[in-house]
Every structure is written in C-alpha cells, then in structure tokens.
Structure 1
Amino acid sequence: MPTSVYDFKCLTPSGEQRPLADFRGKVLLIVNTASKCGFTPQFAGLEQLYEKYRERGLAILGFPCNQFGKQDPGSNDEIQEFCQLNYGVSFPMFAKIEVNGSGTDPLFSHLKQQAPGLGTNNIKWNFTKFLVDSDGKVVKRYAPITKPESIEKDIENLLG
C-alpha cells in the first residue's frame, strides 16, 4: 500500500515510466489539466508559481485528463505543444490519464483518498489541485476555481 506520492510511477508524454521519487524532498502541486477548458488560463498562473518557487523546492506536475466535457482530446504530443506554445509551460507534464472511474490512475486514487473533496472523493472538474509536502504527504486539495496565486501562501509555508 503506497504511503506517499513518491511510491508511484507515472507515464511521461513519450511513454516512459517516471518515478515520482525523482521529486523526493520537493513540495509538489499536482494538477489534472485540460487544454480546452474555461480554467485552461490557469496554466499561466501555475507557470508563474513554478518560476517563482522552483529554486526553493517547488515542482508542479500536470496530468492532462479528457474526462470532463472531453476538453483535452489531443494526443500527448499535441497537449505538450499547446501548453508550451500558449502558456510557456516548463513544469513537467505527464501522459493523459483518467482521474475518476474504473480507469483511475493509481496516483489519483491515492490523492483522492488522502484529501477527499466536499461530499465526494471524485474529482469534479479539470484543474483540481493537490498540495503535497516534501515528505510526499498530501496536505490539501483545492477546487478547480481556486486560482494558482491563491495557493501561494500555503506553498510558502511548506517551503519554510
């Protein structure tokens, strides 16, 4: 039974397994993303947080998902290109996954179990965010409407 996010491996857009242990000791913000969503402009805020805090130990991990309104229909390569061209995304993006239902990615099963949502464990929409401390423990879950800049104080507190 996984005890921290570091126990998981996730697929990169090129299809390689990347252990999240690569991020051991960092504060993580893990986000299910979509390229054609009303919240898509949050990529800009996420990138700003990443640029501001990565030297202090923040990593943002993006996981595209097409489960909500089919708002990320592209291939992994198309999604990567979109994020880089339109928002200058330089934080790690992973392969497209499912975050709810029988095909739920094991990492997201863990995240949802550790930080349930209001009234349900399921993720309600794109850009649900999970803040993870430097020990790999899930600290908090944020709703899709929560703008990245409003998480900044919580990130600073974990970075010390």
Structure 2
Amino acid sequence: MKTNLVLIGMAGSGKSSVGKILSQQLGLAFIDVDLFIEQTTHQTISELFEVSEAHFRKIESAACKEIAEKESHTVIACGGGAVLHPENIEALKKTGWIVFIDRPIEHIVEDIEVGQRPLLKDGKNKLYQLQEERLSIYQSSADFIVNNHSTLEKVIDEIKAHLPKEITAKKGE
C-alpha cells in the first residue's frame, strides 16, 4: 500500500518548504533526500558533485531506493534531478504518491540562491535549460500536479485536496 507522499520538481519549486509544513499538518514524518544523503555520506551535495554528477546520481538512486523501502507515512522531498533515473521514480512509486510541484521558472529565477546548488554554479540561466530537459519527465512521473504560483498555504491545500486516504491513515488503522 502506498503511504508516502513524494514531492518532485525543479530546484526552488518549494518541495522542502511545502514538505516540512505538510508533514507537520498531517502528522507524518519528513525526509529531504538531499539532507539524507549528506547525513549518510558525511559529505555535502557539492562535495559529492565535485567527484562527478554520475557519482552523486548513483548515491541519490541508492538513497531513493532505501527511503522508499524503509519509510511509510512520510513526506519525501526529492532533489530536482532525482527524476533523471527512472529507477528512482519506480522505487518511490511503489510506496508513494508522486506530486509534481510546478512553479513558474520566472519565480524560481527571482529568488533561488545558486551558491549551494552545484548544477547552478554557472548561473541562474542554467535553470531554463534544466526545466526544458526535465519538464516532461516531471509531468509523466507525477500522480498529480500542483501549481505553485501563489502562497505555500494554497499549494499545501491543493495537495491535501488530492491526497488518497492511505496517506493520512496511521499505521495499523
């Protein structure tokens, strides 16, 4: 049974912010995949990318699989590129509902901090390229899509309106 809620989308789309608040409101656990990777590897995402993007993606795939297998009743915020490897989405879909948080790229560009984001080291214009490469993957991976063009509260309310009852039913119920 699917009891997790998996948030996907571009860097800066609101996955972590929405995920933290949503998990609190629903009484669910919260895992940010990038933070999980940093805690388990004892390295920052930037340090892992310094080895290579392929090195990071391999670790990310292992993390997605582990989280999907071990967690239940959890809101999971994925890194923006997690969808690039189909096995990540396959693993996460086994135990979770995939929600694509679709935020207009212009809004992301206005307020994203590029300093801690290895793929954006060449500047914010890289976001347009990444969106072009990933948009169809986000859309095809999602069980439902939520537009983030206003407030976090509205995004959270829209997600809640789409939630299957399995997500909010506590273990053992």
Report the TM range for the smaller structure's normalisation: 0.3 to 0.5
Higher helix proportion (structure 1 or 2): 2
Give the structure-1-normalised TM-score: 0.37
Structure number with the bigger relative contact order (C-alpha 8 A, sep ≥ 6) is 2
TM-score in terms of structure 2 length: 0.35
